[in-house]
């Protein structure tokens, strides 16, 4: 009888002990899964249009990185019309609301610098300016698992560094006169540019 009781006790204790032994490992695996962070970085080419209401195409290159909610973006672009060439560069801090490499929305804040050169039969001048910038966008991976994003960049009135508009907050040249081509008007309408990025 005692032998039968010992056998029954052993049969009951062994599964419980095995379950208890496996529980810490399972908990550890679950903890590791829940603690996995989202890390991502890639270079990209982008095409944009703006600043609105102008529809000037621009082409650029950049690099961005992300860890969980936080990321940064370095970029440069150039836009050209028959009389004006604009080069831009900027650095942004991006905040990703719900980190997910498949699809995620973000907002960013940073600073940009741009140089503008205008040349016509009557005018040949340049200016450089710096400006704060906001960005809102979506980053995702397409069906081929390639990085893509689209965003709206908002550049606020800029601080011009050249002699023409020294120490003046201005959006861009909003008036043009052949007789006085360096005349500027202060404008507090932000520059809005839409762009689409392709990762590589």
148-196 residue pLDDT tens: 999 999 998 666 665 444 443 444 444 444 433 444 444 557 889 999 9
Distance CA 92, CA 54 (A): 24
Distance CA 95, CA 105 (A): 9
Pairing between β-strand 57-67 and β-strand 147-155 as defined by DSSP bridges: unpaired
Distance CA 148, CA 200 (A): 9
Does 150 or 118 have the greater pLDDT score?
Answer: 150
**Domain count along the chain:** 2
Does 53 or 6 have the greater pLDDT score?
Answer: 53
At residue 188, the pLDDT reads: 56
At residue 15, the pLDDT reads: 47
Q: What angle is formed at CA 88 by the lines to CA 128 and CA 146, rounded to 5 degrees?
A: 170
Preceding omega of 51 cis (within 30 degrees of 0): yes
Average predicted confidence (pLDDT) for the chain:
77
The CATH number linked to 47 is 2.40.160.20
| Residue 11 lies in domain | 1-36
Does 139 or 177 have the greater pLDDT score?
Answer: 139
Range name among 6-10, 13-17, 38-42, 98-102 with the lowest pLDDT average:
13-17
pTM greater than 0.75:
no
Burial call 143-157: b when 16+ CB within 10 Å, e when fewer: eeeebebebebbbbb
pLDDT at 91 over 60: yes
- Indicate if 160 and 88 belong to the same structural domain: yes
SS3 sequence, 130-171? EEEEEEEEEEEECCCCCEEEEEEEEECCEEECCCCCCCCEEC
- Indicate if 12 and 105 belong to the same structural domain: no
- Indicate if 46 and 16 belong to the same structural domain: no
Range name among 58-62, 71-75, 84-88, 157-161 with the lowest pLDDT average:
157-161
- Indicate if 73 and 142 belong to the same structural domain: yes
* Unique residue bearing structure tokens 């829940």: 34
């Amino acid at each position: 009888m005692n032998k039968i009781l010992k056998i029954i006790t052993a049969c009951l204790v062994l599964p419980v002990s095995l379950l208890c032994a496996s529980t810490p490992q399972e908990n550890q695996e679950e903890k590791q899964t829940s603690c996995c962070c989202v890390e991502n970085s890639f270079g990209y080419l982008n095409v944009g249009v703006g600043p609105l209401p102008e529809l000037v195409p621009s082409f650029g290159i950049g690099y961005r990185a992300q860890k969980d909610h936080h990321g940064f973006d370095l970029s440069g672009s150039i836009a050209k019309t028959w009389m004006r060439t604009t080069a831009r560069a900027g650095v942004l801090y991006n905040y990703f609301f719900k980190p997910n490499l498949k699809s995620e929305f973000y907002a960013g804040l940073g600073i940009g610098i741009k140089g503008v050169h205008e040349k016509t039969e009557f005018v040949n001048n340049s200016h450089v300016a710096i400006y704060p910038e906001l960005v809102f966008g979506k980053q995702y991976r397409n069906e081929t698992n390639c990085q893509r994003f689209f965003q709206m960049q908002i550049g606020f009135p800029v601080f011009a560094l050249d002699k023409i508009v020294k120490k003046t907050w201005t959006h861009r040249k909003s008036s043009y006169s052949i007789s006085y081509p360096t005349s500027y008007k202060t404008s507090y309408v932000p520059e809005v540019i839409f762009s689409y990025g392709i990762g590589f």
